[in-house]
């Protein structure tokens, strides 16, 4: 367990729980400043028919079984013991392989558009209070379509989408509307992570106060917005602390080489 937890925190190389350069956002995903939830990327992805997709799914599962013998599943036949709970976005570009270690029985994942605690509170409760995990990570990502939509007029969206976007109102209310849209977009992604961290810390104040839970905010940066390289996990908030230099001194990183930590801690919003 100690080894798994250390690996979880190392996806700071958290890729082996973890200076800005000019902004390098991906395609606009939907056009304009409002709407758009991560539309088809450029260049266009290969389009599969439903039957082709199902063939990939079934054949892929066969390959999975071939490379995972029956004893692989012994450790979690009757229960689970994840080391961290993650609230992340439903975006198809964001997956737990970014951590670089096996997610099975290690990561309790909750997903919704905009990585919002309030929209999946029961699931988060289960991970934090019943499993229980010691780390709750709020994981946003570059080019988040939910944040982009919330920054514009989404009144034409379905009732369900509007219901899930509405809680982002307090985040967008802090947008100063200064500078290029893409710069504001990146800043709002991080500010949403901060908002969700603060929400979670109040929700689980008892566990935080007793040292039973630490809430970590991060951004999965596949656009290289933070200048750390595409695919980097950027830690932006630990327990409400948002200043990079103070984050790096947090005891949660004590078993990680400082030269590695510095490559995974940054901010676009501070």
107 in a domain, yes or no?
yes
Portion of the chain with pLDDT greater than 90, in percent: 81
> How many domains are there within the chain?
1
pLDDT of residue 43: 58
Could you write out the three-class secondary structure of the chain?
CHHHHHHHHCCCCCCCCCCCCCCCCCCCCCCCCCCCCCCCCCCCCCCCCHHHHHHHHHHHHHHHHHHCCHHHHHHHCCCCCCCEEEEECCCCCCCHHHHCCCCCCCEEEEECCCCCCHHHHHHHHHHHHHCCCCEEEEEEECCCHHHHHHCCCCCCCCHHHHHHHHHHHHHHCCCCCCCCHHHHHHHHHHHHHHHHHHHHHHHCHHHHHCCCCEEEEEEEECCCCCCCCCCEEEEEEECCECCHHHHHCCHHHCCCCHHHHHHHECCCCC
- Pick from 166, 143, 144: which is nearest to 154 by CA? 166
- Measured at the CA of 24, the angle between CA 18 and CA 27, to 5 degrees, comes to 105
First to last CA, the chain: 35
Query: Is residue 187, in this structure, part of any structural domain at all?
Result: yes
In a domain, 270, yes or no: no
Predicted pLDDT at 270: 83
Evaluate whether residue 234 is within a structural domain. Answer: yes
Does residue 94 fall inside a structural domain? yes
- pLDDT above 90 for 182: yes
| pLDDT, tens digit, 9 for 90 and up, residues 2-29 | 444 444 444 444 443 433 322 232 333 3
- Over residues 65-90, the mean pLDDT reads 97
pLDDT tens digit sequence for 36-51: 455 545 556 778 999 9
pLDDT in tens, 122-177: 999 999 999 999 999 999 999 999 999 999 999 999 999 999 999 999 999 999 89
Please list, residue by residue across 167-182, b when 16 or more beta carbons sit within 10 angstroms of its beta carbon and e when fewer do.
Answer: bbeebbeeeeeeeeeb
What is the pTM assigned to this prediction? 0.84
176: CATH: 3.40.1050.10
Tokens at 252, concatenated: 């949660």
Residue 72 pLDDT level (bands cut at 50, 70, 90): very high
Asked whether residue 47 is domain-assigned, the answer is no
| Pair of tokens at residue 96 | 């737990």
Specify if 194 maps to a domain. Answer: yes
205, burial (CB in 10 Å: exposed 0-12, middle 13-18, buried 19+)? exposed
Which pLDDT does position 145 carry in this prediction? 98
| In a domain? residue 36 | yes
Mean pLDDT, the chain, rounded, equals: 88
**Residue 109, strand partner residues:** 86
Quick one: pLDDT at residue 46? 79
**Which domain does 21 fall in, by range?**
2-41+80-264
> How far, in Å, CA of 255 to CA of 28, rounded?
39
């Amino acid at each position: 367990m100690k080894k798994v937890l250390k690996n979880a925190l190392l996806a700071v190389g958290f890729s082996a729980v973890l200076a800005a350069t000019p902004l390098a956002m991906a395609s606009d995903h939907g056009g304009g400043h409002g709407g758009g939830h991560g539309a088809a990327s450029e260049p266009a992805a290969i389009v599969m028919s439903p039957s082709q997709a199902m063939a990939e799914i079934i054949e892929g599962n066969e390959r999975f079984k071939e490379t995972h013998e029956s004893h692989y599943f012994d450790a979690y036949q009757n229960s689970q013991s994840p080391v961290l709970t993650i609230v992340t976005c439903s975006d198809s570009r964001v997956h737990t392989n970014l951590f670089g270690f096996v997610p099975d029985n290690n990561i309790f994942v909750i997903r919704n558009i905009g990585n919002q605690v309030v929209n999946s509170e029961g699931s988060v409760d289960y991970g934090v209070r019943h499993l229980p995990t010691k780390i709750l990570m709020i994981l946003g990502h570059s080019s988040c379509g939910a944040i982009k939509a919330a920054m514009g007029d989404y009144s034409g969206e379905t009732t369900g989408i509007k219901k899930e976007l509405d809680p982002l109102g307090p985040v967008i209310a802090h947008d100063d509307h200064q500078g290029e849209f893409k710069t504001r977009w990146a800043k709002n992604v991080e500010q949403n992570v901060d908002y969700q961290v603060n929400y979670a810390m109040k929700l689980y104040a008892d566990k935080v106060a007793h040292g039973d839970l630490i809430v970590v905010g991060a951004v999965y940066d596949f656009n290289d917005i933070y200048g750390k390289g595409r695919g980097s996990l950027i830690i932006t908030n630990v327990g409400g602390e948002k200043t990079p230099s103070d984050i790096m001194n947090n005891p949660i990183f004590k078993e990680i080489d400082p030269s590695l930590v510095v490559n995974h801690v940054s901010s676009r919003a501070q």
